[in-house]
Amino acid sequence: MRGPPRWHHHHLPTHPHIGRAPPMPHPPLAAAAVILRRRLLLSSPLASSSRARRIFSRAMDSSTTAAAAQHAGGAAAGEYEEVLGRLSSLITQKVRADTGNRGNQWDLMGRYLQILELEEPIARMKVIHVAGTKGKGSTCTFTESILRSCGFRTGLFTSPHLMDVRERFRLDGVDISEEKFLKYFWCCWNKLKEKTDDDIPMPAYFRFMALLAFKIFSAEQVDVALLEVGLGGKFDATNVVKSPVVCGISSLGYDHMEILGNTLGEIAGEKAGIFKKGVPAYTAPQPEEAMVALKRRASELGISLQVVDPLKPHQLKDQHLGLQGEHQYENAGLAVALASTWLEKQGHVDRMPLNHTDPLPDQFIRGLSSASLQGRAQIVPDSQVNSEEKDRDSSLVFYLDGAHSPESMEICARWFSHATKEQSQTCSKSRKILLFNCMSVRDPMRLLPHLVDTATQNGVHFDLALFVPNQSQHNKLGSKASAPAGPEQIDLSWQLSLQAVWEKLLHDDNKGSNSTDSGETSLVFESLPLAIEWLRKNAIEDPSTSYQVLVTGSLHLIGDVLRLLKK
């Protein structure tokens, strides 16, 4: 496999924190982009391959068509872009750990509810509230799907979105329409703009999103509103709900430690902030330290906290869960408890499971097996490379999972190992490639070792790791626009740091082994599209090999990859 120009290789670090200076001058990144594009598009034999030319031509055609469609959309497309720009203006530049994001400022949520006249509607709403470190989005998705299968009108608020901001607001399992989104956005925006000032500023981005969700679900008269906590619990914008029907805590672990605390007990204490007096609460099995903190808070409020066991496969009557991965049985078990309690509290005892061990009612099974959530254990064959390969297996497949905590890295590695083994049984040769980025608030020394060690324990070794910046850093929030086409100076110091961590991991793992493999083990690309093009080029040139690419470390990266693959 050929790589990009020499100065991006792991043995030529350029970042001051990585170590040695490069033995040759570091060419400007803009020039690197031009050289790399030229190599990708013109290098032999690809340039002379008629099939390759068709693929790259098709990619250019699709971007032209998309531009034409956007132009044809006229005013609607322009209005949507304007709304995304206004939402982007609410994203605070403060560090998230800044105390200004909590405490006294959180009290402003009450004022925002008054301005939008949402206090009464929220009090009437039949809410299921879910916090957690990992699995809370999956738990909400399962619960929503169960209750929708039981015949109820559902509203689901989750975060973050992957490709379009409307993914955060689902009505009856479908992203809110652009028309409705625009209507409710302007209703909230105009009222808040009119009544806010220096003393009461416009709400920060996520708070506005939560307020918008309350507006949408109340106006659409949903039977049940499922709210996924954005961050923590106690000071989260969704925690203005005073009397949910039931609360849930999915699996807890170390994440957002700069805000929530350095111990599992502190983190659990923040999550338990969603518990309310008189409201039943459920939790997935937790580490002891976390469980103690959850039980302490439940005891202070005088409520029962029940620990829910993972769902057993036989309870699904030979059906599979709609979300892949063994860990989803834990989320599904919590979802069944939440949905059952909601049904009981609303007087629908006839639709509840009889007990915790027998097979579930058909509508529960239907809901669990049809649940879907993008970017979690999602497998996407690349249509550009595979479309003309009807006579054999896919040669380029992306395995997408938004894991970004140490624990979820392990779960992700186990899933990838299992999923690729299934595919490898049908193809003789495969290459395992990691496509990775994480936010700079994360510690790669806590993430990458968990990924590598768990993959190794499950018999998977990565042939290559690719490190890229997120493309979405160029875009307005959720914009359909792409990153700038022209080369520009991009700071790759973080990606080079990630690469250095990776190389040290491999070096330490190979100590004491007889491995003499001096081949390339990692590359840094200055943009995600260039990395995707490079993968496609290699897959086309090597049709006898299946390229299995694990994309993980950041939900933003997952969204960027999905957006590129679906063009």
Residue partners of 538: CB distance under 8 A and separation at least 6: 1, 2, 547
Backbone conformation region of residue 318, classed left if phi is above 0, alpha if psi is from -120 to 50, else beta: left
541/487 Cα distance (integer angstroms): 26
User: Is residue 370 part of an annotated ligand binding site?
Assistant: no
Sheet holding 396-400, edge to edge: 378-381, 396-400, 545-552, 429-436, 464-467, 522-524
Strand, helix or coil for residue 154:
strand
Secondary structure, 3-state, 13-27 = CCCCCCCCCCCCCCC
Cis omega before residue 160 (within 30°)?
yes
* Other residues' Cβ atoms within 10 Å of the Cβ of residue 202: 17
The sign of the CA dihedral 275, 280, 285, 287 is positive
CA-to-CA separations, 408 to 231, 368, 411, 443, 554, in angstroms, rounded? 16, 21, 5, 14, 11
User: Is residue 544 part of an annotated ligand binding site?
Assistant: no
What angle (nearest 5°) sits at the alpha carbon of residue 125, between those of residues 123 and 130?
Answer: 105
What angle (nearest 5°) sits at the alpha carbon of residue 474, between those of residues 471 and 477?
Answer: 95
User: Is residue 159 part of an annotated ligand binding site?
Assistant: yes
Nearest to 509, CA basis, from 455, 446, 436 = 455
- Backbone dihedral angles phi then psi of residue 462, each to the nearest 5 degrees: -80, 130
CA-to-CA separations, 422 to 4, 102, 412, 415, in angstroms, rounded? 31, 46, 16, 11
**For residue 341, how far is the Cα from the chain centroid?**
28
Q: Tell me the helix, strand and coil percentages in the chain, rounded to 5.
A: 50, 10, 40
19/2 Cα distance (integer angstroms): 25
486/378 Cα distance (integer angstroms): 31
Is residue 316 a contact partner of residue 360, using CB atoms and an 8 Å limit? yes
User: Is residue 376 part of an annotated ligand binding site?
Assistant: yes
- Backbone dihedral angles phi then psi of residue 217, each to the nearest 5 degrees: -70, -35
User: Is residue 369 part of an annotated ligand binding site?
Assistant: no
Written as six digits, the tokens of 328 are: 């989803």
The amino acid sitting at 322 is: G
- Backbone dihedral angles phi then psi of residue 19, each to the nearest 5 degrees: 145, -120
Strand, helix or coil for residue 9:
strand
Residue partners of 442: CB distance under 8 A and separation at least 6: 404, 553
186/514 Cα distance (integer angstroms): 65
Written as six digits, the tokens of 134 are: 């990992």
Is residue 216 a contact partner of residue 184, using CB atoms and an 8 Å limit? yes
* Other residues' Cβ atoms within 10 Å of the Cβ of residue 263: 14
Annotated binding site for ATP: 376, 401
Annotated binding site for Mg(2+): 159, 228, 256
Annotated binding site: 159, 228, 256, 376, 401
